[in-house]
Amino acid sequence: MPDFADHSDPSGSLQWPLPQPLPAGGAPLRLAVMASGEGSNFEALVMACAEGRLQGQVVVLAVNRDGCGAQRRAERLAIPCQVFDHRRQPSRQALDQALIALFRAHRVDLVVMAGWMRIVTPVLIEAFPERLLNIHPSLLPSFRGADGVAQALAAGVTLAGCTAHLVTEEVDAGTILVQAAVPVLPEDDRQRLHARIQRQEHRILPMAVTLAAQRLAQG
Ligand code: GAR
């Protein structure tokens, strides 16, 4: 029987029964991560690989903010990182083309948008069909778009959460891979709730990568 309670999390977060992270088979997945901010999800993926919870390797990080937390984590973790300042790109498509060139050079199997705060275009989505994932801090399809945590608080829901999903042209609307639910506590503000949601993001994102790889293997 699956265990419905997340006993590992003393904050009392709820957790749906989650798929076990099964090996995708064959060679380790070559993963690219895209990040704009702190990079805690990027590091969670690196650690999942290091600890054998994900049969993969994060081979490159792309960031769009020079000096962001994710970039500093990449330095500490000795993972190649490239900065793509979106303000220096002539268009969203040009930024996506530059990302594709980086990912192809690193022979990447899957790309994970882990706090990438730019809208991607069909140029990137079509270059990695079924291979581009995103993590979003809400239980989709609720609270798509900017600041899903603030949207959940404003709506007064009692359950918030996070979703790992495939990326399609419509924002935050692709196939859902894994979700986790987190109770909204009376004393929560945006920061506290987001911190608890992020702990669940760090758990489900490696699982979602495995699931995406399994979907590809099954055709
Ligand atoms: C995460 O909570 C992620 O869900 C969110 O940004 C945060 C990045 O944190 N993404 C979005 O809101 C995308 N719409 P991190 O940089 O510490 O991984």
pLDDT tens digits, residue range 78-93?
999 999 998 989 999 9
Quick check: is 19 in a domain?
A: no
Residue 10 is predicted with a pLDDT of 46
Quick check: is 202 in a domain?
A: yes
Residue 143 is predicted with a pLDDT of 98
The question of whether 136 is a catalytic residue gets the answer: yes
Q: What does the chain come to in residues?
A: 219
The model's confidence at residue 134, banded by pLDDT at 50, 70 and 90, is very high
**What are 87-94's contacts with CB under 8 Å, separation 24+?**
92/118, 92/119, 92/120, 92/121, 93/121, 93/123
Burial status of residue 142 (CB atoms within 10 A of its CB: 0-12, 13-18, 19 or more) = middle
* Mean pLDDT to the nearest integer, 116-140: 97
Please say if the pLDDT value at position 6 is more than 50.
Answer: no
This prediction has a pTM of 0.92
Quick check: is 166 in a domain?
A: yes
Quick check: is 123 in a domain?
A: yes
135 closest CA partner among 36, 68, 41, 216: 41
Quick check: is 125 in a domain?
A: yes
pLDDT tens digits, residue range 19-30?
555 554 578 999
Quick check: is 195 in a domain?
A: yes
175 closest CA partner among 215, 207, 148: 215
How far away, in angstroms, is 1 Cα from ligand 1 center? 32
Residue 90 is predicted with a pLDDT of 92
More confident residue, 214 or 77: 77
CB 114 within 8 A of CB 79: no
Q: Is the CB of 209 under 6 A from ligand 1?
A: no
Q: How many domains does the chain have?
A: 1
Domain that holds residue 210: 28-217
Residue 219 is predicted with a pLDDT of 82
pLDDT tens digits, residue range 136-189?
999 999 999 999 999 999 999 999 999 999 999 999 999 999 999 999 999 999
pLDDT tens digits, residue range 29-68?
999 999 999 999 999 999 999 999 899 999 999 999 999 9
Q: Is the CB of 35 under 6 A from ligand 1?
A: yes
How far away, in angstroms, is 136 Cα from ligand 1 center? 6
* Catalytic, out of 7, 86, 106, 136: 136
Please say if the pLDDT value at position 192 is more than 90.
Answer: yes
Quick check: is 182 in a domain?
A: yes
Quick check: is 157 in a domain?
A: yes
CATH code of 109's domain: 3.40.50.170
